[in-house]
Amino acid sequence: MELRALRYFVAVAEELHFGRAAERLRIVQPAVSQQVARLERELGVRLLERTSRTVRLTPAGERVLAAAREALAAAARVRVVAGEHAAVLRIGVASCVTPRVDRALRRLGEGDRPAQPELVDLPAGARLAAVRDGELDLALVRGVVSDDALTVERVWSEPLHAVLSTGHAAAGKPVISVLDLDPNGLRLLARDVDPPLHDAIVAALPVAPVAPPAGNLLTLLFDVGRDPLAWTVMPAEVLAGQRSERHVSVPLDPPLVVDGHLVTARATPDVCVRSYVDAFAD
């Protein structure tokens, strides 16, 4: 039995769709179908009920899913504790590399057992799935993460800043209150871009968004930059890597914050988790 077959099965079981699973795994759909069918033949049970419209787990599939996740996490643990010098450490991040990440990479490369960090740029949902599947050793996520298959450690707290067009009436202020801004001008990331961050921002804001979501980060900042009435809030460290002449970031008073979390597989040894937390903490 190959770990690859288990990874493919877990992806299909979580997506309940072969096409979406293939996109998540970045392979063609027939390869996913072949591996799942081979796993079913090896185990002698049907894991998935398939129709032209739906995919669902069988009772045996539900049992195998739990065991498959454990096996993939165990395999990830073997890689972590193999003891090789300068082992590759695969880290899931958002598209921007912040000073925190730069500092952590330096820390991880020092000490008695240095690592060779490898950054993997993935959306938040795909980052978490890759940790569950053993494709990543750890991931960084802003906002609340709740998943029984993962270990989640709060590592830092980050201020949110208001982002305004340079033509906005409040653009020149040293600090600003969210309550002084027109709620009709509030723009937010689409939730499916980064659900944990989106939910954390919505929970922190004393006002609710009125306008529809603005898509990804690039689209959001572009829209805010060209509209003198629009505004948004984003983590300060994210904005540090998004300089533009179109918009400015302004600290909030009273301050609003979002927590940053480090996510690993359940099977990752505590000593490894602690070293990762130490590397990314303030």
Both 169 and 232 in one domain: the answer is yes
Q: Are 259 and 153 in contact (CB under 8 A)?
A: no
**Residue 243 contacts by C-beta under 8 Å, 6 or more apart in sequence?**
none
pLDDT for the residue 216: 81
Both 109 and 179 in one domain: the answer is no
Total domains in the fold of the chain = 3
Both 113 and 191 in one domain: the answer is no
Both 151 and 273 in one domain: the answer is yes
Return the residue matching tokens 């939730």: 191
pLDDT for the residue 255: 94
Both 166 and 230 in one domain: the answer is yes
Q: Are 128 and 139 in contact (CB under 8 A)?
A: yes
Q: Please report which confidence band the pLDDT of residue 115 belongs to, taking 50, 70 and 90 as the band edges.
A: confident
Both 8 and 48 in one domain: the answer is yes
Both 229 and 113 in one domain: the answer is no
Pairing of strands 87-93, 115-121: parallel
CA distance 43 to 101: 43
Both 162 and 241 in one domain: the answer is yes
Closest to 32 (Cα-Cα) out of 13, 18, 45, 42? 18
CATH number at residue 59: 1.10.10.10
User: Tell me: the pLDDT tens digits for 24-72?
Assistant: 777 888 888 989 999 999 999 999 998 878 899 999 999 999 898 888 8
**For range 232-255, the mean pLDDT:** 85
Both 12 and 70 in one domain: the answer is yes
CATH number at residue 238: 3.40.190.10
Cβ neighbour number for residue 178 with a 10 Å cutoff: 19
Both 249 and 183 in one domain: the answer is yes
Q: Where are the alpha helices (DSSP H) in 81-194?
A: 99-108, 124-132
**Helix, strand, coil fractions of the chain, as percent rounded to 5:** 45, 20, 35
Closest to 236 (Cα-Cα) out of 173, 175, 160, 176? 160
Residue ending a domain, choose from 61, 76, 91: 76
Pairing of strands 87-93, 138-142: parallel
User: Tell me: the pLDDT tens digits for 156-169?
Assistant: 999 999 999 999 99
Which residues share a beta bridge with 176?
252
Both 144 and 276 in one domain: the answer is yes
Both 269 and 133 in one domain: the answer is yes
Residue ending a domain, choose from 29, 45, 76: 76
Question: Taking all residues of the chain, what is their mean pLDDT, rounded to a whole number?
Answer: 86
**Residue 227 contacts by C-beta under 8 Å, 6 or more apart in sequence?**
165, 185
**For range 192-221, the mean pLDDT:** 86
Whole-prediction pTM value? 0.69
pLDDT for the residue 204: 93
Q: Which residue segment(s) compose the domain that 24 sits in?
A: 3-76
**Side chain identity, residue 272:** C
CA distance 234 to 18: 34
User: Tell me: the pLDDT tens digits for 77-107?
Assistant: 676 665 544 568 899 998 666 888 889 988 8
What is the phi/psi pair of residue 6, to 5°?
Answer: -65, -40
Residue ending a domain, choose from 55, 76, 97: 76
Phi/psi zone of residue 174: left (φ > 0), alpha (ψ -120 to 50 degrees), beta? Answer: alpha
CA distance 11 to 8: 5
**Residue 17 contacts by C-beta under 8 Å, 6 or more apart in sequence?**
55
